[in-house]
């Protein structure tokens, strides 16, 4: 009796899956494009309004260049030095982020798993965390000079704390009841970490990595504004010194694109690995 | 008398200043179903956790315990990132016995859901998966901690029948903790009525009825009256 009804639900499910696999895809796709189009409405509107305002002379062009002019500047830069700047900045961010986030994950795992480690390390980290990270800049310049090392270290410091904090929280928020299942099976510590703790902490770890990445970009700009001969931050201060708001805005746009791209990569990894989460996705209206 | 699958004597178990369990002697014979009946918070779950080895801090002696032994928790406790299939074979990592898992899925009535994620399952279905996970290690003893308390009454009856069927098919002895008098009497060969704090076994009732049982059997009704009297005397109700 109960078997029968289960077979039925099984068939229903199959039927639903089949429907979404064959008939629904175009509809789903157009819905997705509609969503994307909605996201474009505001930026396009702003660009058009700005263009008009600047063209009719309500805003002085030497302070706010027209969007079309910024596009031209961007085009010019792309034929010349832009790629060199992007390359330099990207390298610094990736290196700093890798070092900072890597160390943070290590310490987060250590502190999260062991109360002993927490007792030794957590007060120190709490103290270090309360220092605004930019306060390190003079010291880094004194110790490491103004070349690459000090920039990478600053970015690493910036990326460290969000990853560390979220990492510890992610481990400590794991459902004790799931861990108990591992104890029930007599799992070794390593197996417990691999089979239960790591997957259960993954959502929190991703939150940390994503905010760490955005802080890495922030600290990159800080580092490059202070002292650099290439990089997007240098482009920003160069634009200011030569009174070229179009260059400043072009650099800002490139930073936005790169930040969005790097976050998008993390977001898509998150989406792929955390598809199992039973979360609220917002309402359609 | 055959060798008991489980033989434990708990002299005392305390949490801080409170004594939770007091002088409990419990045996489980092969093929037997035994229920510990008492109110929530009387310490019966603690007793089960001691038997499972999840709680090691107690005064007393675990005289014998037959491995393998499996535990079904009050909540399904499935790993949300694993499919039904992977959850059932959880103990063997990725090298689980596919054929055995498929058979278990079939036996708990979840055919077609092998690749489903826990978030798509109803409460009753998730508890079926939990039972299958318990059976995966081919246990001789299955410990269940109020396994059906979170599902509706009709699902509960279905799951009770399923549990009995599986226990009989695989020759598993069941030790079940419950606060549901009907459930205890319907499933068990022996019902141990627990005292309120500190818990000890107040009375042992034998249910001499063959399976499958009729839930409307007059003997069950008589025993229920007896149980309720005892629980009343224990100031539980």
pLDDT (tens digit, 9 = 90+) per residue, B150-196? 889 999 999 999 999 999 999 999 999 998 999 999 999 999 988 87
Asked if A93 contacts A148 with a C-beta cutoff of 8 angstroms, the reply is no
Q: What are the structure tokens assigned to B102, written together?
A: 């498929």
Kindly determine whether residue B119 and residue A2, on different chains, have CB atoms separated by under 8 Å. Answer: no
Crossing angle (nearest 10°) for helices B123-136 and B153-169: 20
pLDDT tens across the length of chain A (285 residues) = 344 444 444 444 444 444 444 444 455 678 888 888 888 999 999 999 999 998 998 888 888 898 999 999 999 998 988 999 999 999 999 999 999 999 999 999 999 999 999 999 999 999 999 998 889 889 999 999 888 999 999 999 999 999 999 999 999 999 999 999 998 888 999 999 999 999 999 999 999 999 999 999 999 999 999 888 899 999 999 999 999 999 999 999 999 999 999 999 999 999 999 988 888 877 766
pLDDT, residue A233, reads 93
Helix (H, G, I), strand (E, B) or coil at A187: coil
Contacts 24+ apart (CB under 8 A), A84-88: A84/A230, A85/A230, A85/A231, A85/A232, A85/A234, A85/A235, A85/A251, A86/A232, A86/A254, A86/A258, A88/A228, A88/A230, A88/A231
Can you list the domains of chain A with their CATH numbers?
A: 2-54 (no CATH), 66-273 (1.10.3720.10)
The overall average pLDDT reported for chain B is 88
Kindly determine whether residue B93 and residue A195, on different chains, have CB atoms separated by under 8 Å. Answer: yes
Residue B199 lies in a domain: yes
Say how far apart CA A255 and CA A233 lie, in whole Å. 9
Helix (H, G, I), strand (E, B) or coil at B11: strand
pLDDT, residue B64, reads 80
Residue B104 lies in a domain: no
Q: How many CB atoms lie within 10 A of CB A13?
A: 14
Asked if B50 contacts B199 with a C-beta cutoff of 8 angstroms, the reply is no
Residue B83 lies in a domain: no
pLDDT, residue A199, reads 93
Residue B213 lies in a domain: yes
Kindly determine whether residue B111 and residue A195, on different chains, have CB atoms separated by under 8 Å. Answer: no
Asked if A140 contacts A223 with a C-beta cutoff of 8 angstroms, the reply is no
Say how far apart CA A153 and CA B72 lie, in whole Å. 50
pTM, two decimal places: 0.80
Is the pLDDT at B199 greater than 90? The verdict is: no
Nearest chain A residue to B117, by CA? A276
C-alpha dist (Å) from residue A87 to A91, B145, B209: 6, 60, 80
Asked if A3 contacts B110 with a C-beta cutoff of 8 angstroms, the reply is no
Crossing angle (nearest 10°) for helices A67-79 and A245-273: 80
Nearest to B80 among A10, A13, A276 (CB): A276
Nearest to A177 among B75, B118, B162 (CB): B75
Kindly determine whether residue B77 and residue A276, on different chains, have CB atoms separated by under 8 Å. Answer: no
Q: What is the mean pLDDT of residues B199-223?
A: 85
Domain that holds residue B20: 1-67+141-148+175-237
Residue B167 lies in a domain: no
Kindly determine whether residue B71 and residue A184, on different chains, have CB atoms separated by under 8 Å. Answer: yes
Half-sphere exposure of A281 (CA within 13 A, CB side): 5
> Which residues from chain A sit within 8 angstroms of residue B119, using beta carbons?
276-278
- CATH number, domain of B52, equals 3.40.50.300
What are the phi and psi torsion angles at A132 (to 5°)? -60, 125
What is the distance, to the nearest Å, from the Cα of residue B234 to the centroid of all Cα atoms in its chain?
A: 23
Helix (H, G, I), strand (E, B) or coil at B191: strand
Say how far apart CA A188 and CA A67 lie, in whole Å. 60
Say how far apart CA A236 and CA A245 lie, in whole Å. 9
pLDDT, residue B62, reads 83
DSSP state of A133: G
Say how far apart CA B172 and CA A123 lie, in whole Å. 52
Residues of B with a Cβ under 8 Å from any A Cβ are: 52, 54, 71, 73, 75, 77, 79-82, 90-91, 93, 109-113, 117-119, 158, 161-162
Kindly determine whether residue A184 and residue B111, on different chains, have CB atoms separated by under 8 Å. Answer: no
Higher pLDDT, A115 or B4: A115
Work out the minimum CA distance from B154 to partner chain A, whole angstroms.
11
Residue with tokens 């799931």: A178
**Strand order across the B6-15 sheet:** B18-28, B6-15, B59-65
> Which residues from chain B sit within 8 angstroms of residue A181, using beta carbons?
73, 77, 79, 90
User: What is the tally of structural domains in chain B?
Assistant: 1
Nearest Cα to B83, choosing from B23, B30, B27, B125?
A: B125
């Amino acid at each position: 009796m109960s078997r029968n009804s289960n077979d039925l639900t099984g068939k229903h499910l199959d039927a639903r899956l089949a429907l979404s696999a064959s008939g629904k895809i175009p509809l789903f796709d157009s819905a997705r494009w509609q969503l994307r189009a909605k996201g474009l409405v505001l930026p396009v509107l702003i660009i058009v309004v700005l263009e008009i305002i600047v063209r009719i002379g309500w805003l002085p062009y030497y302070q706010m260049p027209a969007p079309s002019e910024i596009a031209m500047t961007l085009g010019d830069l792309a034929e010349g030095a832009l790629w060199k700047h992007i390359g330099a900045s990207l390298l610094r961010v990736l290196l700093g982020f890798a070092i900072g986030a890597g160390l943070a994950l290590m310490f987060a795992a250590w502190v999260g798993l062991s109360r002993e480690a927490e007792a030794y390390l957590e007060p120190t980290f709490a103290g270090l965390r309360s220092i605004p990270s930019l306060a390190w800049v003079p010291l880094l310049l004194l110790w490491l000079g103004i070349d690459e090392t000090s920039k990478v270290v600053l970015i690493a410091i910036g990326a460290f704390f969000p990853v560390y904090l979220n990492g510890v929280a992610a481990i400590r928020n794991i459902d004790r009841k799931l861990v108990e299942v591992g104890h029930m099976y007599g799992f070794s510590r390593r197996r417990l970490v691999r089979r239960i703790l790591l997957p259960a902490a993954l959502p929190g770890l991703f939150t940390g990595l994503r905010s760490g990445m955005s802080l890495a970009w922030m600290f990159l700009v800080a580092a490059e504004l202070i002292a650099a001969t290439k990089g997007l931050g240098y482009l920003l201060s160069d634009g200011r010194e030569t009174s070229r708001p179009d260059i400043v805005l072009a650099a800002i746009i490139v930073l936005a694109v790169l930040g969005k791209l790097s976050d998008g990569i993390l977001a898509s990894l998150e989406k792929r690995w955390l598809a199992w989460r039973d979360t609220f996705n917002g309402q359609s209206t | 008398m055959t060798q008991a699958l489980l033989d434990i004597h708990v002299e005392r178990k305390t949490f801080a200043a409170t004594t939770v369990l007091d002088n409990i002697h419990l045996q489980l014979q092969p093929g037997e179903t035994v229920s510990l009946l008492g109110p929530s918070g009387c310490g019966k779950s603690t007793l089960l956790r001691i038997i499972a080895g999840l709680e090691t801090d107690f005064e007393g002696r675990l005289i014998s315990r037959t491995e393998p032994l499996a535990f079904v928790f009050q909540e399904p406790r499935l790993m949300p990132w694993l499919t039904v299939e992977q959850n059932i074979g959880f103990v063997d990592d990725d090298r689980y016995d596919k054929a055995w898992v498929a058979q278990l899925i079939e036996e708990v009535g979840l055919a077609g859901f092998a690749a489903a994620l826990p978030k798509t399952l109803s409460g009753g279905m998730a508890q079926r998966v939990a039972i299958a996970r318990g059976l995966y290690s081919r246990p001789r003893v299955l410990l269940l901690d109020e396994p059906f308390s979170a599902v509706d009454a009709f699902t509960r009856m279905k799951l009770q029948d399923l549990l009995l069927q599986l226990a009989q098919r695989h020759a598993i002895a069941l030790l079940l903790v419950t606060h549901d008098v009907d459930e205890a009497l319907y499933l068990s060969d022996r019902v141990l009525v627990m005292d309120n704090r500190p818990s000890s076994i107040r009375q042992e009732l034998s249910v001499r009825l063959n399976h499958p049982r009729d839930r409307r059997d007059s003997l069950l009704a008589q025993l229920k009256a007896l149980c309720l009297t005892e629980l009343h005397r224990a100031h539980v109700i």
